[in-house]
Amino acid sequence: MQNRLAFHGRAGEFFGIWIVNIVLSVITLGIYSAWAKVRTKKYFYGNTELAGDRFDYHATPIQILIGRVIAFALFVTWIIVQNVSVTWTMIGLGAFLLALPLLARNNARFDARMTSYRNVRFNFTGSLVGAYIALLLRPLLLPAFLAGIFYLSSLMGNIGIVFGGVCALVALVVGNAWIAQGTTSYFANGYLYGEQKFNADITTGFFIKTYLLAALLSLGLLLVVGLTVFLLFSGAAMALFALFATGDTSAEGLNAAAVVGFFAIYGLFFLWGLIVASFVAVRTRNYVFGQMHTQGEESFQLGSEMTTGQYVWLTVSNFFAQVVTLGLARPWVLVRTTRYLASVTTVTGNMEALRVHDTADNADSALGDEVSQAFGVEIGLN
């Protein structure tokens, strides 16, 4: 039996929470932001329903505040170091890169442990070694391999340069697919619901195929964008010719035409990149969720039914809504996006037969979560 997630939150209702959160955070110089985060999480989790039951979020504001204070101190230290010495800046950057797998793993673990469904908490048990292999070792091996290819090709003369270029292109596609497979497999196979573990067979071949399809889509869209830009330039040239023919060469008219043309071309290239990125993101989410299932007497299968067109429209309309309203549409955007993601996420299985015992393994520290956010680290499944 297929069960679909549903989100029951309302933009008008959340708007009041959002305004209060902003006002109190400003008045308290950011201290209330920890309470604001918990309140927001509880609202969205508590309004997300699956088979008649809703999720819950269990982190406390004090947990978040302690982690956020430490993260802020580290962030300020990083800013100071950047203005003191280039050497110390490089050392700090290296330390951050070395800590990245740890931060990503702790972030996933904390978020999972603070989430519950039917009074049973989720968990993330991905190993620290696995995090360093997937998030650090694999990405470092690719440039090392490419350097080896270029070095060997340089010893072979002109033919070697051509051969090396082809090999490097293949290595980029396969290597990036291999990196994506490692990262995705690490997270997809690390989650638990109670004592039930999620499993997912993630293949490198899927990502190779996805990147090749994305490249074909990109080339096709580039041809369309190129043709459109050519027509725009042709139209602009004809308009300028008409202006000169009538003697109207005012700077206002020329500037207006230039501004409109610039934004039109920029918008086309932005849309081109957005469509390709959305295609990869949507295809990957649908594939990964489709591979994730639980073990046990009663098996449960996740699913995702996103489409590229819907996701592009969601992204574009959300962007313009926030621009036009100067950010006041932010609550509507969050509610709308959450409702869409819930509507395309499914769980197949007999939910009435779901019998899972909670584990006693709970997180007491939000450090991994808050440090990750303070430095812009957001790695995992969405």
189 or 147, greater pLDDT: 189
Q: Is the pLDDT of residue 158 over 90?
A: no
Please give the pLDDT value at position 246: 55
Measured between alpha carbons, how far is 254 from 223 in angstroms, rounded to an integer?
28
Task: Please give the pLDDT value at position 235.
Answer: 56
> Which pLDDT tens digit goes with each residue over 265-321?
778 888 889 999 999 999 999 999 999 998 766 788 999 999 999 999 999 999 999
The per-residue pLDDT for 145 is: 87
Closest CA to 257 of 274, 279, 273, 233: 233
Backbone angles phi, psi at 54, to 5 degrees: -115, 160
Confirm if 47 and 54 have CB atoms less than 8 A apart. Answer: yes
Distance, CA of 240 to CA of 65 (rounded, Å) = 60
Contacts of 60 (CB under 8 A, 6+ apart): 38
With 60 as the cut, is the pLDDT of residue 360 above it?
no
Residue pLDDT, tens place only, 341-357: 999 999 998 877 777 76
Please provide residue 194's backbone torsions phi and psi, each rounded to the nearest 5 degrees: 65, -125
Q: What are phi and psi of 46, to 5 degrees?
A: -70, -20
Quick one: pLDDT at residue 217? 94
What is the token pair recorded at 172? 């980029």
